[in-house]
Structure 1
Amino acid sequence: MITSPSSVRRSERSRRAILQSALDLCTERGYGHVTIEAIAARAGVSKKTIYRWWPSKGAVLLEAFSDALIDATPFVDTGDIGADLRAHVAGAVKLLSVPPFGPAYAGILSELHHDDLLARRLREELVDPRVEEAIGRLRSAQEQGQIPPGADLPLAVEMLYGPVYYRHVLRKPVQDEETIATLVNHVLRSLRAPGY
């Protein structure tokens, strides 16, 4: 079946309306009170349309969150790994600290324990690609001589993200600029990066 340009536009418009409706409802009602029925009604689509693209509300909100996270936390390379990591982590902290994204992600994480499909999608669609991008940025710094050869880059990524998600999941106060700088410095020092 050939898809016409107008149907592609309609599909993308519907997809965007669904994602935005899910986020809006999450802000208004809280993750636990969002339903596929409510998302469909708010977006002006049928439940069948939603289920054609996503298996659950968690999957809808995961896609909405992933889109926002990628936009808010790019992996830039200015030539200064410390500055780049501070900017990257600050973007993630900021996104997680405001509705609807913080509550949406907390809700998604709470569902992982009883939704194996959502857990797999989270790893495959969000976590694994972002970890690979982070490792790629650290590898670039390694090639520039800012991180020594042989440093454990995957572990460094876990050390960077771990405190951010620990605070988010336990609803502790978010890191400020100074705390983020300290975190980045500790991680780079653990890699024995020059100047840290």
Structure 2
Amino acid sequence: MPAVSPQSRRPRSGNRRDESARLAVLHAADDLLVEHGFGGLTIEAIARSAGVAKQTIYRWWPSKVEILLDTLIEDSEKRFPVPDGKPTAENLRGYLRGFARFVTRDPAGKVLLALLAEAQHNPGTAEILRERYLDPRRDRERALLARAIEAGEVSPKLGPDAVLDALVGPIVYCVLTGSSVPRGLVDTLFDDLLRPRPD
């Protein structure tokens, strides 16, 4: 990550966010999470790494969960967007492969996994993760699947939410338990659950 001078990191007065300071905070949170895990991530460390005052962070974000969510939302849109063009079986397969890469290799995928883990014993984190990230993304995935079904590209064995859960669940389980995602798992899930149209 390129260095940001202390002067360029300094936020403007008032409640308006300085974009360079905002990005410095998001990048610092992302990097520190990868280095120290969720439990070792603190607002103090984020402020120190980003070169901003701790009070500035609290003025913009009420908690480290909110910072990580902003990081996750922005990085997901850049590196793992839900396709919005004409759906085909192959770009659906590519999207599922992209998800496997996202949660196994991308720092933003580690943010998602950390928030999912924290949500298991923190109802507040679970609620805000659903509201700000999981539900909006699921709406777009459901619409993508519906377009693919309407186009005759796939014929799922289950309803939309059940098939989406069945596709991503085994991948998330592998990663959360420290296992590698087996070669061929993505294609097997895709072919068995979505039954793509034969070529």
Contact 2:44 2:54 in 1 (8 A): yes
Contact 1:21 1:43 in 2 (8 A): yes
Assess, with a 3 A threshold, how the Cα gap between structure 1 residues 152 and 132 changes in structure 2: closer, same or farther. same
Match of 1:156 in 2: 163
Runs of at least 5 residues in structure 1 that lack an aligned partner in the other structure = none
Whole-angstrom distance in 2 between the partners of 1:7 and 1:175: 51
| Pairwise CA distance, 1:155 | 1.6
Contact 1:75 1:133 in 2 (8 A): yes
Match of 1:143 in 2: 150
Contact 2:89 2:153 in 1 (8 A): no
The answer to whether the aligner puts 1:185 opposite 2:188 as a matched pair is no
Assess, with a 3 A threshold, how the Cα gap between structure 1 residues 128 and 12 changes in structure 2: closer, same or farther. same
Q: What does 1:62-141 correspond to in 2, within 5 Å?
A: 62-76=69-83, 79=86, 81-98=88-105, 100-141=107-148
Assess, with a 3 A threshold, how the Cα gap between structure 1 residues 180 and 195 changes in structure 2: closer, same or farther. same
Assess, with a 3 A threshold, how the Cα gap between structure 1 residues 33 and 151 changes in structure 2: closer, same or farther. closer
The answer to whether the aligner puts 1:32 opposite 2:39 as a matched pair is yes
Contact 1:31 1:103 in 2 (8 A): no
Assess, with a 3 A threshold, how the Cα gap between structure 1 residues 154 and 114 changes in structure 2: closer, same or farther. closer
TM-score (norm 2): 0.80
| Pairwise CA distance, 1:100 | 2.9
Whole-angstrom distance in 1 between the partners of 2:182 and 2:61: 33
Q: Counterpart amino acid of 1:195?
A: P
2:22 counterpart (6, 10, 15): 15
Contact 1:27 1:99 in 2 (8 A): no
Contact 2:119 2:126 in 1 (8 A): yes
Assess, with a 3 A threshold, how the Cα gap between structure 1 residues 61 and 157 changes in structure 2: closer, same or farther. same
Contact 1:82 1:184 in 2 (8 A): no
Whole-angstrom distance in 2 between the partners of 1:150 and 1:107: 31
Contact 2:34 2:110 in 1 (8 A): yes
Assess, with a 3 A threshold, how the Cα gap between structure 1 residues 27 and 99 changes in structure 2: closer, same or farther. farther
- Paired residues, number: 188
Runs of at least 5 residues in structure 2 that lack an aligned partner in the other structure = 1-11
| Pairwise CA distance, 1:135 | 0.8
